[in-house]
Structure 1
């Protein structure tokens, strides 16, 4: 008999599917249907709303009331908007599963998502850490790309990667976290919309990454994505993003200090230097909110981003950040074009322009 978690054995444990939403009434029905369709049998579903101002929470309640399936369903709402990091923390505090499978209110999970993730976790021996998968990116009913699980030059050696500034070894919408990622650390710091960066770092500190190439999540792109529209013409929103980065990386610094006895001192020192570099560069990108930002100021900030490895490891990602200053449309359109061009040039698969079924 394997050790018990939440009253079930790890041979077939209770798993939590946590669906996080905020002002996503246009998409939440499909996201909830994806949760309800899961084939894994010992499943609790938490539908969690971060104090939406639209009908997101009401739709969740209505769908939960009509649900007749085998899963346990909890609908909850924060009394005020917490931001993504504390939202994840608060939902976890009400969960019972050995694994927390996360989902966004505008994405759609494949019915087999939890089952496939559990099988991969079981095959690896139930380690602490994170399980992540591939994803299918779509917009307006068209599939733009099918992306396998992220691989970096440091896959399997994630802490070494963090010492080299590889900050995101997995795609946030595809992840599932073991309980230790939350329980072995203090609560996530509030005020940030970035939860994946500190959670993935915690997974590297205490366990391992398990990757699944299958596209288990359909990731929707639209102009209201939580991680988009951070542009110079909306400096308040951009500053919220920059402050969220500062908080997220400060959280990482604190977590590193919490666990530094468990890792090589030289590696810990290099990781902290990189963390502090991101905090410093992010603070330099805060914008004035009470005066017009001229073309010269925009250009200076864009070049700061392009020149700073602490903003992103590769020039490609730095360019994507810089393009985001001009709005979501040109950013995504150019990124998709470049992906397609590179795929065609290399003989690989270009963006898929077919109906998403």
Structure 2
């Protein structure tokens, strides 16, 4: 009973197929002057259930105890993940810091994490599973559960774009697409477009548009991050600029940088509507440039108003006049 040969006449036992290989993943956790929150953020990274996982903890030359806290946690860590701790020699700013670390990663998938939020233990495994299930997906993001500075939970917080494969024409002017702290993306997708060169923007509104261009943006309707409100980079920067004019100039500068980066990214895409989208972006850039001139260089503005670009400058004048009127009647 029970011969040792297989149906093909072999004499050895049939070898079981090897289990599918988990893709290599790196979680990149970025920190800057977040000593009040960094412990919880790092412990959230350490608690990830996915394996194999590499974790890069990167500090942008903090002036508080952020890096020292990270160092203590790494020294005490005895878990299964490979952990790399690094620190910039000088403060680089948000986008140059991201470009540097993303360029260091060799794993197939990059999971983004912020130094003031907390990744739930199943986060990486859930994101990777969605990427595995959909070969066309290049960037996956999720909803969040809000917490305040003290860690008290609030309500759910979802991103502006919750559909899969959104139309990039509808996102051309968008200044919010997904919540950056929830994203994970394929490394070859980032390499395809290259580093973000217009640094006065944010990575999520650039990577989200890039993913839409290639039809690979996907959403998971599950809170995978405890998202801290009123403490992030954009909130801190707005507090540093209480003057409305300075805030307005910064807004224009960020929008100009964002749309300029999108124009550059269109050149690296094969989207069938890229010429139409490029035309849309150029027209909006003319108007934004005129609005910034109105706020910072009136001589240049009046010169532009008398030029061939009169429509863009006229629209800019109307937009800024409307904004100032609304401020007066608040």
Q: TM-score range by the shorter chain?
A: 0.7 to 0.9
Distance change (3 Å), C-alpha of 1:167 and 1:37: same
In the alignment, is residue 147 of structure 1 matched against residue 157 of structure 2? Answer: yes
2:224 to 216, 219, 225: 216
1:227 to 231, 234, 239: 234
The whole-number CA distance in structure 1 between the counterparts of 2:55 and 2:295 is: 38
TM-score (norm 2): 0.76
| CA displacement at 1:255 relative to structure 2 | 1.1
The whole-number CA distance in structure 2 between the counterparts of 1:306 and 1:40 is: 51
Distance change (3 Å), C-alpha of 1:277 and 1:215: farther
Q: Deviations over 1:84-109 (max 9, x none)?
A: 11111111111122111111100000
| CA displacement at 1:173 relative to structure 2 | 1.6
SS in 2 for 1:258: coil
TM-score (norm 1): 0.70
Distance change (3 Å), C-alpha of 1:174 and 1:116: same
* Aligned match of 1:205: 213
2:86 to 63, 66, 76: 76
Contact kept, 8 Å, 1:242 with 1:285, in 2: the verdict is: no
1:53 to 51, 63, 73: 63
The whole-number CA distance in structure 1 between the counterparts of 2:26 and 2:50 is: 11
Larger Rg: 2
* Aligned match of 1:29: 39
Distance change (3 Å), C-alpha of 1:245 and 1:81: farther
Distance change (3 Å), C-alpha of 1:168 and 1:277: farther
In the alignment, is residue 255 of structure 1 matched against residue 265 of structure 2? Answer: yes
Q: How does 1:5-20 map to 2 (within 5 A)?
A: 11-20=21-30
Q: How does 1:181-200 map to 2 (within 5 A)?
A: 181-189=189-197, 191-192=199-200, 194-200=202-208
The whole-number CA distance in structure 1 between the counterparts of 2:287 and 2:112 is: 26
Distance change (3 Å), C-alpha of 1:120 and 1:258: closer
In the alignment, is residue 93 of structure 1 matched against residue 103 of structure 2? Answer: yes
* Aligned match of 2:168: 159
Unaligned runs of 5+ in 1: 1-8, 289-300, 309-318, 327-357
The whole-number CA distance in structure 2 between the counterparts of 1:94 and 1:71 is: 17
The whole-number CA distance in structure 2 between the counterparts of 1:185 and 1:245 is: 20
| CA displacement at 1:193 relative to structure 2 | 5.3
Structure 1 runs of 4+ with >4 Å offset: 234-237, 239-242, 284-288, 305-308
* Aligned match of 2:54: 44
* Aligned match of 1:350: none
Give the aligned length: 287
Distance change (3 Å), C-alpha of 1:306 and 1:13: farther
SS in 1 for 2:34: coil
Distance change (3 Å), C-alpha of 1:269 and 1:252: closer
* Aligned match of 2:313: none
Q: Give RMSD over aligned pairs.
A: 3.3
| CA displacement at 1:40 relative to structure 2 | 0.2
In the alignment, is residue 137 of structure 1 matched against residue 143 of structure 2? Answer: no
Contact kept, 8 Å, 2:143 with 2:223, in 1: the verdict is: yes
